[in-house]
A and B are shown apart, each in its own frame.
Chain A
Amino acid sequence: MIGAVMVVGGGIAGIQASMDLADNGFFVYLVEKSSAIGGLMASLDKTFPTNDCSI
């Protein structure tokens, strides 16, 4: 068993999975096609219902 996981896709799902795994004791390679992580969510100005910015 290798204690590392590859997560493909740097949107909110990929980031969440990576953080859970890293917190749980596994090394994570987060592979993203574009030049930065964030995905769709980074372009949402405000999220319901708190109007918090999504960054």
Chain B
Amino acid sequence: MEAGRSPNIEIITNAEVKEVTGIAGNFSVKVLKHPRYIDATKCTGCGFCSPYCPMTIPDPYDQNLSQKKAIDILYTQAIPSTYYIETDYCLFLNRRECKQCTKACQSGAINFDQKPEIADYQVGSIILATGFKSINPSRLHAYRYKDAPNVVTGMEFERISSASGPYLGKISRPSDLKKPHKIAFIQCAGSRSTVSGNSYCSSVCCKYAVKDAIVALEHESDLDITIFFMDMRMYSKGLDAFYERARGAGVKFVRSRISEIKRDVHTEDLIIKYVTEDGDLKEDIFNLVVLPTGLEPSDGSFSLARATAVKLNKYGFCDTNLFLPLSTNREGIFAAGGFREPVALPDSVVQASGAAAYASELLYTARGTLISEKEFPEEFSASVDGLRIGVFVCHCGKNIGGVVDVPEVKKYAAELPDVVMSTENLYSCSEDAQSIITGAIVREKLNRVVIAACTPRTHEPLFQQTIREAGLNRCLIEMVNIRDQCSWVHSQEKEEATKKAKDLIRMAVAKARLIQPLDEHVIDVIPRGLVIGGGLAGMTAALSLANQGFECYLVEKKAELGGSLLNIYYTLQGEDPQAYLKQIVDRINQHEHIKVYTNAEVQSVDGFVGNFRTVLSISQGGERETVELEHGILILATGAKIFPTTEYLYGKNENVLLQPELEKKLALGSFVPATGDTVVMIQCVGSRNDEHPYCSSICCSMAVKNALKIKEMNPSTNVYILYRDMNTYGFREEYYTKARNNGVVFLRYDRQHKPEVTESDNRLMITVKDHILGRDVRIHADVLALSTAIIPEKDETFEKILAIPRSSEGFFMESHVQLRPVDSYVDGIFICGMAHFPKSIDESISQAKASASKAAIFLSKGQVKAEPIVSSCDTEICIGCTLCAYFCPYSAIKMTKKDKGKRAEIIVAACKGCGVCASYCPTKAISMGRFTDAQIHAQIEAFGEYE
């Protein structure tokens, strides 16, 4: 939606790139625009045409589970909201008959004379982000997708359990629309297989299967759900806990690769035969089977690669390099998201911002040359005399409308004092609803707007901008959450939910009568960045900011830049990390915009977005020196470290090493594996347990890397890897397969039956229970390597200086897991690299670039606008008691001298409008921008006015 409103983004739909000529900084792109047969300038999105269309076709948006017309809109909230014609089905386009839609359309928007056209665009850079698609499940013959109606894909199941889906959120199976009591999920359907599907791991299927299982149980708590899997790859932040939550909710996890599904044609149930880990053959009957199918490049990837002359890898995804993860082989063309590898949503968002940073580095000298500022009409005065309130009640499809009687609520609202109009929208957030709202404001001369829909947390900014476009101050709006507070929590009590919606709207209208226009405060931004942490992520972020034309400080507490990268000697993919390290350190030291401080400790960080002040204490030859830096933004890249375990004789026997120590010995030649030597590796040491209840993501790949190195040095050395789940996600699966082919032995153990390590006659003996043999296996080892947890770099003093919230794992918390993955909870402070969560080199680089992209937005704009919600203090009433300053969680209040005493002063840029200060103020000197006492009282009084 925001993208649809920016004056600097032109959306070109029904289009594909045909040819790219020129060089980085100056490309010419030929784009083929297919005819839409509907004139976007005339279509109002009213939808009159659709019912007249005689062609009913399967709806791909609902995974073909429901139907639509050949003239339709992709989905209700689509942007642009122009209708389109399915050229494959339209009767006129195929048989020259019909044209019913042209008669139905009242604005004359339908135009069958449109022809394909080629347009030329001049751009400095190109970002390829065409995504991935699910593999065609018909290819998996053994899973009966083609003939058994109750075998569905993960995406189909997503629609089946959706409130806006074909079954309106009631979990049903396609054959008879009855509730399936027993549901099976079969993982790796079309992934990690060379027989059917693709050999790589699709990375996201384990996550979404667990999500779907939990969501299904939230809908129907008595479902019996089994997930059949090979390894559960829940390796990202917060996901291992999510996995445990599913277990706790009763989801059964069975480690078995399903080879076949049989269909019972009478009951349409499905019979699954499987082998348990102990080797028993079992059979079970399910009412519904879900295949969370693997992912592959989307259809357009190959033609796009040809048109842009970009190289693809052997899987058909974009060919990228570990150290240049978002660059294609063609300079100036970058790749993000599913075009380069199957990735989950947060990674897609990170890579997108990262690719934007690369493009911005390339083009920074041309920044601002082709853009225009969005212009708003002048605000008209909205004085309290003559209140004219408009109420808009949202159906949110069936999400609200399925429970709350929206027409009734609308009617009720129209009768409330000062309400001059009340109306309903199917989706208030859709593009056409915005023009309905702005139209109503102008036509009815509204000066207050009440929107009864979902949560202001996600949607208030949208509606604020809408009313601003109509000339109203953006604070003249009240949102009522009749989704969460009515239709969701009272889904079984329709009448009560409707009554509550009326109560809430009455209260909002009472408050709306008192709301006032407020000004936005504008704060200047110091155009300089500061990066704390001189590892790979920190160096990458600093270099990106500098390359985008901004000055940047880089602070490292050790004597040398490099961080964890100093301990990496070789990579799975074959690149040379030390050569890269040397190169990036040289570039940083030579860059005129970067000032590096090593041996530097952060003593204090003060200020707020746009105006930070950081004091460093630098040691130089035994002397300490203090430096004070001023900067507009802050990037935290403080890294993580290896957990030093005391288990398995580590520290007691010199042949027990941590995985990075083994890597160093192998790289420097201090351990040369001999024929007949045995190296054992144990995974998840001090990890995925009560102390560190998360998967550290990269240790499995590290173990496979070292195992392959040993086998490369001496194929006759025995290597055993004892693991719980092998987490070689994405294309790393290839190396896991290679390790098995090269003779590395993988033995699985359970959390309850950990391996035991003993020492006798100077040799190590490892005992582990083998599941297939059902008995203990003893291995004599010359070297034992431990893959221990990766834990956050955390020190007490730093915690005191900068209170950035951390996740339960101890890593810095992002402000929204999916949509704002590099923003911290404090404006102007960003996080990247292992300080966010353990991650691989390419992921660290992408995230560092993303944080630089986000930081550059502040620096390039030169100003930030503070929310008008902030508190203000009446210094005439303030008695200077300092309670507010003490309790403010954002350090947004300072006490300034006035006459003989002190008075509270609000730092507008730092204030978040939480209201803590106002609630503590004994003299009521502090009031909140959009929550004055009078407004809240009016709301409470309105609550008491029963009908």
A interface list, Cβ under 8 A from B = 1-50, 52-53, 55
Contact = CB atoms under 8 A, between A and B. Distances in A.
Nearest to A52: B458
Contacts of A41: 345
B129 interface: yes
A13 B351 CA distance: 7
Interface in B298-327: 300, 304
Given A2-B122, A36-B79, A26 B8 contact: yes
Nearest to B356: A20
27 contacts: A2-B122, A2-B124, A3-B369, A4-B121, A4-B122, A9-B131, A10-B11, A11-B129, A11-B338, A13-B339, A13-B351, A14-B131, A18-B6, A20-B353, A20-B357, A23-B861, A24-B857, A26-B359, A29-B121, A30-B11, A31-B12, A32-B13, A33-B15, A34-B14, A37-B3, A38-B74, A49-B238
B341 to A, nearest CB: 12
B349 A35 contact: no
A51 B62 CA distance: 19
Contact of B359 (A16, A21, A30, A46): A21
B78 interface: yes
A5 B165 contact: no
B337 A24 contact: no
A3 B853 CA distance: 16
Interface stretch (B153-161, B689-697, B906-914): B153-161
Interface of B: 1-4, 6, 8-17, 25-27, 29, 31, 36, 61-63, 73-75, 77-82, 84, 121-131, 155, 158-159, 161-165, 211, 215, 238, 242, 300, 304, 336-339, 345, 348-349, 351-353, 355-357, 359-360, 362-363, 365-371, 396, 399, 429, 454-455, 458, 816-818, 853-854, 856-857, 860-861
Give the secondary structure class of A's interface: mixed
A19 B128 CA distance: 15
Contacts of B455: 52
Contacts of A18: 3, 6, 9
Which among B1, B82, B345 has the greatest number of chain A C-beta atoms within 10 A? B345
B370 to A, nearest CB: 4
B857 A23 contact: yes
A1 B353 contact: no
B11 A24 contact: no
Contacts of B17: 6, 8, 31
Nearest to B350: A16
A24 B128 contact: no
A46 to B, nearest CB: 7
Nearest to B26: A2
Contact of A10 (B8, B13, B371): B13
B805 to A, nearest CB: 16
Contacts of A14: 127, 129-131, 336-337, 352
Which among B369, B854, B860 has the greatest number of chain A C-beta atoms within 10 A? B369
A24 B367 CA distance: 8
Nearest to B370: A27
B129 A6 contact: no
Given A7-B127, A42-B61, 16 more contacts: A1-B362, A4-B121, A6-B126, A8-B17, A13-B337, A16-B348, A17-B336, A21-B359, A24-B360, A26-B367, A27-B371, A32-B13, A36-B79, A38-B78, A45-B159, A53-B396
A34 B13 contact: yes
A19 B11 CA distance: 12
A6 B121 contact: yes
A18 to B, nearest CB: 5
B186 to A, nearest CB: 21
Contacts of B8: 22, 26-28
B458 A9 contact: no
A34 B129 contact: no
A10 to B, nearest CB: 7
Contact of A5 (B123, B215, B368, B856): B123
A32 B63 CA distance: 20
B129 A3 contact: no
B44 to A, nearest CB: 16
A38 B75 contact: yes
A42 B75 contact: yes
Contacts of A8: 17, 126-130, 304
A17 B14 CA distance: 19
Contacts of B396: 53
B366 A1 contact: yes
Nearest to B133: A40
Given A13-B337, A13-B338, A32-B11, A25 B367 contact: yes
Given A1-B26, A31-B31, A43 B61 contact: yes
A43 B161 CA distance: 12
A18 B79 CA distance: 14
4 interchain residue pairs of minimum CB distance: A13-B337, A3-B366, A45-B162, A36-B78
A17 B365 CA distance: 19
Nearest to B431: A36
Nearest to A27: B370
A55 B367 CA distance: 30
Nearest to B81: A36
Contacts of B215: 46
Nearest to A47: B818
Contacts of A12: 337, 345, 348-349, 352
A22 B90 CA distance: 37
B129 to A, nearest CB: 4
Contacts of A3: 124, 363, 366-371
Contacts of B125: 5-6
Contact of B454 (A29, A38, A53): A53
Contacts of A27: 8-10, 370-371
B158 A45 contact: yes
A14 B131 CA distance: 9
Nearest to B817: A49
A30 B853 contact: no
B13 A24 contact: no
A43 B2 CA distance: 18
Contact of A33 (B36, B242, B300, B353): B300
Contacts of B399: 53
B9 A9 contact: no
Contacts of B13: 10, 32, 34-37
A19 to B, nearest CB: 6
B510 to A, nearest CB: 28
Contacts of B155: 43
A12 to B, nearest CB: 6
Contacts of A47: 345, 818
A24 to B, nearest CB: 5
B605 to A, nearest CB: 25
A53 B17 CA distance: 31
A38 B158 CA distance: 16
Contacts of A35: 13-14, 36, 73-74, 78, 82, 84
B3 A5 contact: no
A55 B126 contact: no
A39 B13 CA distance: 12
A5 B126 contact: yes
Contacts of A43: 61-63, 75, 155, 158-159
Contacts of B3: 15, 18-19, 30, 37
B16 A31 contact: yes
Which among B9, B126, B161, B367 has the greatest number of chain A C-beta atoms within 10 A? B9
Given A6-B29, A11-B338, A26-B360, A45 B164 contact: yes
B79 A37 contact: yes
A29 B20 CA distance: 14
A26 B74 CA distance: 29
Contact of B79 (A4, A29, A38): A38
A55 B63 CA distance: 18
Contact of A11 (B31, B77, B337, B429): B337
Contact of A34 (B74, B162, B368, B369): B74
Contacts of B854: 20
Contact of A22 (B6, B26, B353, B856): B6
